[in-house]
Amino acid sequence: MAVTTEQLNVWKQQQRSIISLTAWDYSIARVLDEAGVDVILVGDSLAMVALGHPTTLPVTLDEMIHHAKAVRRGVKRALIVCDLPFLSYQENVSQAIHSAGRVLKETGAAAVKLEGGHARAIATVKELTAIGIPVMGHVGLTPQSCNSLGYKQQGNTAESADRILDEAIALSQAGAFSLVLEHIPSELAATITSTVSIPTIGIGAGGACDGQVLVTADLLGLSLTTPPFAKPYIDLQSIMTDAVERFAKDVLEDRFPTDH
């Protein structure tokens, strides 16, 4: 049975942890779905892991839609959420509606995710959810703000922790169906999780969240640099390099193909 936004809320009440990973193409999405991942995020992190950019900022809405279409083809069960990329929703609510509408209409994704909990983001979430577009919020470290925030942990002071908590509450009240909590102290994440009625999905936010998400390239050992909170479960880069080198050697030494 396909995972829905309502199911995530049921799991929060049941204290059943939510499993989430990112995907950027059909092959990765199919593997994640068959392995039992609940939420597949077509994250704008694909700008870095699939397109080779140094940050998430350059990826366009058309590129996100292109990748989300491929992910959709590989998924039967998981809830697909697609990031709205930088400058595809910040100008005004009309732009956000158009961008989010294109994502749902053209890709078959079930929801969109947008970053930030400032007043404009709250207003955007209210408008999107009012017309039936499910929205996942994202507070704490927001990579689209890397030029102002960097990539350091957020919420380390009483003032910033209070602000992030207020943003999380406001996003929940605005209609977001869940929240990503990125790179914040575990105590703050626990407070948010116990305060809001919607599920929280942590990335570098401790174990008290209702679920966990990682960038799949980090999990597989394919990233050039791995965040301090990520856990590589395999060094796939080394395995792939070894396989390619053995193939190349077989070709050079006339051992492949073997039909001669």
**What's the domain count of the chain?**
1
**Does some domain include residue 155?**
yes
203 inside domain: yes
Catalytic residue among 182, 187, 245, 253: 182
Residue 214 lies in a domain: yes
Other beta carbons less than 10 A from residue 226's beta carbon: 16
pTM, 2 dp: 0.97
Q: What is the CATH number of the domain that holds 105?
A: 3.20.20.60
User: Is residue 146 situated within a structural domain?
Assistant: yes
Catalytic residue flag (residue 182) = yes
Distance CA 237, CA 241 (A): 6
Contact 112, 6 (CB under 8 A): no
Handedness of CA 92, 95, 101, 103 (dihedral sign): negative
By residue range, what is the domain housing residue 163?
A: 5-234
Let me know if residue 254 belongs to a domain.
no
Query: pLDDT 10s per residue in the chain (260 long)?
Result: 999 999 999 999 999 999 999 999 999 999 999 999 999 999 999 999 999 999 999 999 999 999 999 999 999 999 999 999 999 999 999 999 999 999 999 999 999 999 999 999 999 999 999 999 999 999 999 999 999 999 999 999 999 999 999 999 999 999 999 999 999 999 999 999 999 999 999 999 999 999 999 999 999 999 989 999 999 999 999 999 999 999 999 999 999 998 76
Diameter over CA atoms, the chain:
72
